[in-house]
Amino acid sequence: MTPVIEVTGLTKTYGSGPNAVHALRGVDLTVWPGEYLAIMGASGSGKSTLLNMLGCLDVPTSGSYKLDGIDVGDFEERQLSLVRNRKIGFVFQSFNLIPRTTALANVELPLVYSGMRRKQRRERAFAALELVGLADRAQHLPNELSGGQQQRVAVARALVTGPAMVLADEPTGNLDSASSAEVLGVFDRLNASGRTIVMITHEDDVAHHASRLIRVVDGRVATTVGATR
């Protein structure tokens, strides 16, 4: 079985000489298909830099990163963009929905760039909304949805390309407790159905939804523990 993520000796240094900042210092990490991993770390720990690496938003100074079996460590921006679109579904703290566009059209958007036919795009987007329990809100605009519903639309958008993993960055950070529970329930169900999820969070109760937790300290993976649902 090919790991979804296989990181070996990953480093990231900003600047040079005495003023160099060593954001990552030899990170090793493997994530298998179907895992639910939470990553935690204080401000300045290297957690955000690791997120950028895993999301192909930046390239390492040294080390290797294989995503779904593809070594992306030396990719140029155009290649990274293709990998991001095809292999990673992003869910951010802010929902990033287009305000005057329906939920269905928001979910459909990543497929537009792939050249897929309109009918097929619509079918896949509607199926993704069904997965997150929002098929009945397909024609609603974002301002007609609650915060939790908007984030579920964002999750559907992340799923619509059939990515190797869903990378969620503080996905409940802008939500109240009820909406947070709603969104985390969606992630739980997705993982139970076999989806691979990597979640960045600073909240212990959110991390406990994952099956594994790692903590990043001073640019290194300091601890790896199992998390209880």
**pLDDT tens readout for residues 50-69:** 989 999 998 899 999 999 99
Residue-wise pLDDT for 10-32, tens only, equals 999 999 888 899 999 999 999 99
Cβ contacts of 154 within 8 Å, gap of 6 or more? 91, 92, 95, 96, 97, 171
Sign, CA dihedral 205-210-211-212, equals negative
Residues 98-138 have pLDDT tens digits of 999 999 999 999 998 777 899 999 999 999 999 999 999 99
Domain that holds residue 115: 34-47+77-226
Number of domains in the chain: 1
Give bridge partners of residue 70 from the DSSP assignment.
67
Q: Which helix (H) or strand (E) holds 67?
A: strand 62-67
Distance from CA of residue 44 to its chain's centroid?
20
Is there a domain that residue 56 lies in? no
Domain membership of residue 28 (yes or no) is no
Main-chain dihedrals φ then ψ at residue 52, nearest 5 degrees: -60, -35
**Residue 58 domain flag:** no
Domain assignment present for 60:
no
Q: Is residue 194 part of a domain?
A: yes
CATH number of the domain that residue 211 is part of: 3.40.50.300
Distance CA 229, CA 226 (A): 10
Distances 119 to 108, 115, 123, 155 between C-alpha atoms, Å: 11, 12, 6, 21
93 in a domain, yes or no? yes
Does residue 209 fall inside a structural domain? yes
The CA distance from 148 to 182, in Å, is 7
pTM (two decimals)? 0.91
| 4 in any annotated domain | no
